[in-house]
Amino acid sequence: MKATFAVAVSLAAALTPVFAQPQGPAAPEFIREGQRLVREGKLDDALALYRETLKGAPNSIPANIGAGSVLDLMGKGTEARTYFAKAIGAAQTPEEKAAANRAMAMSYAFEANCEKTVEYEQRIFDIYAGQKNYYQQGEIADEAARVCIDSADFAAASKWYKTGHDVGLQEPNISADRRDLWEFRWEHAQARLAARRGEAAEARRHVASAKALLDKGTNPQQQMFFPYLVGYVDLYTGDYRAALEQLQKANQRDPFIQCLIGETYEKLGDKAQAMEYYRKAAAATSHNPPAAYAVPFARKKLS
C-alpha cells in the first residue's frame, strides 16, 4: 500500500514534504480509526489497533509507520524504530521508501539526534536526486536542517539549509517567485542560526533581508511566517517582551510556537502561563519536526 505525501504548510515545520499515512476517504478504515484515536489522545488504543492489523498483515507499511509513530509520541523511540525498520524493509516503490525512511528520520528527531536524522533524510534526498526533482530535494534538505537546529547542531543545520537553498535553485526554468521563496527561506534560516549563536546584529540583518524579499510580493503566502521569525530572534537575543508580542501573531496551533511562547513566559517570570503553553505543546500528535521538538521538550518542562 502506497503512502501519500502532502507539502507542509508551515515554515515552522520547515516547509518540507511530509510523507504521511493515507488521508481521507481513500485511507483504509484502520488508518482513519487510528488517526482519530491519536487525535483524541488515546495512544494505547491506537497502538493496539495497529498491532492487531499487523497480525494479519505484518508487512503493511501504513500499519508499521502508524505503530512506530504512536510509540514515538509515547517516548518509546527504540521500540518505534523496530516498526520503521520493518516498513523500510517492505518498501518497494520510491514513494514507499521515502515514507518509511522519513518516519525513521522523524523518530530520531524526537530524540534530538541530528546525525541519525540526517542519515535517513539523505536517503530521501537521493531518491529525489535520481528523479532530478530539485524542489523536493531542497525541501528534504531543509527538513533535515530544521531538526539539526532544533537539536542545537548549528554547523549541520547551516550545511543542510545551504544545501536546500542551492539545490532548490537548480530547478530548470525556475520562476521568479520560486527563486524568491528559496532566498526567503535561506534568510529565515540564517537569521535563526545567528540568533542561536548570540549574533544579534547578524540575525537582524537577515531578518531585514527576509522582510525585503516578502515586500516584493512574490510570495504573499509566506507573510504569515514572518512574526515567527522576528519572535524567534527576539527570544534568543533577549528581548522577551518583543518576542511575546511577535510570537502571539504566529500560528498558535503549532506546538513549536507554543514551546517558544512558553519559554518566553518563563523568561518573563510568568510560570503559570508558561505551563499552560507547555501543556498544549505536550499534547501534539503529529510525527513531524515541530512535534518531534515540542513533545519531549514540553513534557520535560511539565515533569
Residue 233 near residue 191 (C-beta atoms within 8 A): yes
In this structure, what DSSP letter does residue 175 have? -
* pLDDT tens figures, 13-35: 333 333 445 555 567 899 999 99
Predicted model pTM? 0.91
In Å, how far are 4, 79, 140, 182, 212 from 219, measured between CA atoms?
Answer: 26, 42, 20, 10, 11
Mean pLDDT value across residues 172-179: 98
* The predicted structure's pLDDT at residue 57: 97
Residue 28 has a pLDDT of 83
pLDDT at 23: 55
Does residue 261 have a pLDDT over 50? yes
- Give the lowest-confidence range in 28-32, 101-105, 251-255: 28-32
* Interval 86-100 mean pLDDT: 97
What's the CA gap between 122 and 108, in Å, rounded?
Answer: 14
Coil, strand or helix at 4: strand
Question: Residue 263 and residue 198: Cα distance in Å, rounded?
Answer: 17
Give the SS3 label for residue 18: strand
Range 42-47 average pLDDT: 98
pLDDT band at 4; cut points 50, 70, 90:
very low
Return the pLDDT at 20: 46
> For residue 25, what pLDDT is reported?
56
Which residue in 191, 208, 209 sits closest to 200, CA to CA? 191
SS3 6: strand
pLDDT tens, residue by residue, 61-91: 999 999 999 999 999 999 999 999 999 999 9
Q: Between vectors from CA 266 to CA 265 and to CA 268, what angle results, nearest 5°?
A: 65
First vs last C-alpha separation in the chain: 39
Ordered DSSP codes for 229-276? HHHHHHHHTT-HHHHHHHHTTS-TT-HHHHHHHHHHHHHTT-HHHHHH
DSSP for 99-168 reads HHHHHHHHHHHTTT-HHHHHHHHHHHHHHHHHTT-HHHHHHHHHHHHHHHHHTT-HHHHHHHHHHHHHHH
Rounded Cα distance, 148 and 5, in Å: 22
Angstrom distance (rounded) from CA 251 to CA 98 = 28
Instruction: Please give the helix or strand (H or E) that residue 17 lies within, else none.
Output: strand 17-20
Q: Is the pLDDT of residue 101 over 60?
A: yes
- Mean pLDDT, residues 45-59 taken together: 98
Backbone angles phi, psi at 175, to 5 degrees: -80, 165
Query: What digits encode the pLDDT tens for the residues 184-198?
Result: 999 999 999 999 999
